[in-house]
Amino acid sequence: MTKPISKEQVTQLLQAWNLGDEVALNEVVPLVYEELRRLAHSYMRRERPDHVLQTTALINEAYLRFNEVKGLEWKNRNQFVAISACLMRRILVEFARSRDTQRRGGGQRQFTLNEELLADSGNDNHDLIALDEALTDLARLDSRKSRVVELRFFGGLSVKETAESLGISQETVARDWRFAKAWLRNAMCE
């Protein structure tokens, strides 16, 4: 139900992450996007969704497939993880948007869930959308913090992995994370 990612979006994404060699990546990012989406679903087929899903494992698998199977070169694994976290954000937010539209009666509501729980999941969707918007605001003020959030929350990376990916200390990641969480929550309430 999610739309394929557009060229402009890819460019924006790479700019946001200060990644060079845009031409090559322009071609690859849509493929990574599809691959992540496919993997996300197949993960859910394998694992019961009530189990915690390992986003990092998923991104890792995508990375391996791209390096080994498709023979595409990446500067390093960190570059791939950074892009993947960003794409996971897009996948999840777009999904939440489509659910939110449905909930507001954008389509005919045949075969709905019960209202209470629909309302609950509606709130979750709404939260995810609000969070995405707040995160975009935070990126304008402090792009490193927004990246930490992207990697931790959307990429599922640990503090250690996030630190490695961004080339900063774990302590800085922990401090950024704590502050960003408080900041985002306030921004979402406004």
Partner 1 sequence: MNRLKKIESLFHQALERENELRLEFLERECGSDKDLLKELCELLQSDSLSDSFMEEPAMAAHAVELSMISPQITEGSVLGRHRLLSPIGIGGMGSVYKACDIRSGQIEAVKILAPHLALTRSAVRRFLREAKAVAALKHPAIARILDFGERDGVYYIAMEYVEGETLSQRIERSPFSWQQVTDILLQVVDALQEAHKKGIIHRDLKPSNLMIKETGEIKILDFGLVKVQRGFGLHAEGFVSADTLTLPGTVLGTVNYMSPEQAMGKQIDPRSDIFSLGVIAYELLTGRRPFQRKTIGDTFNSICHESYHPIARFNYEASEKFETIVGKCLRKDPLRRYRSAKELGKDLQRVCEYDSPVRTGSFKTKKWLVFGAAAISLALVVLVLLVYWLI
Minimum CB distance to partner 1 smaller for 29 or for 180: 180
Is 103 in contact with 125 (CB distance < 8 Å)? Answer: yes
Minimum CB distance to partner 1 smaller for 11 or for 126: 126
Minimum CB distance to partner 1 smaller for 75 or for 104: 104
Q: How far is the CB of 67 from partner 1 (least distance, A)?
A: 22
Q: How far is the CB of 189 from partner 1 (least distance, A)?
A: 8
Minimum CB distance to partner 1 smaller for 16 or for 188: 188
- Burial of residue 46 (number of CB atoms within 10 Å: 0-12, 13-18, 19+): exposed
Is 88 in contact with 56 (CB distance < 8 Å)? Answer: no
Q: How far is the CB of 11 from partner 1 (least distance, A)?
A: 24
Q: How far is the CB of 55 from partner 1 (least distance, A)?
A: 4
Site residues, partner 1 (CB under 8 A): 1, 37-38, 40-42, 44-45, 48-50, 52-53, 55, 58, 88-89, 92, 95-96, 98-99, 102, 105, 107-117, 121, 124-125, 128, 131, 141-142, 149, 152-156, 175, 178-179, 181-186
Integer-rounded Cα radius of gyration of the chain: 17
3-state secondary structure of 74: coil
Enclosing H/E stretch for 120:
helix 115-141
Give per-residue burial for 28-43: e unless 16+ CB within 10 Å, then b.
bbbebbebbbebbeeb
* Structure tokens given for 150: 């992207």
Q: How far is the CB of 119 from partner 1 (least distance, A)?
A: 11
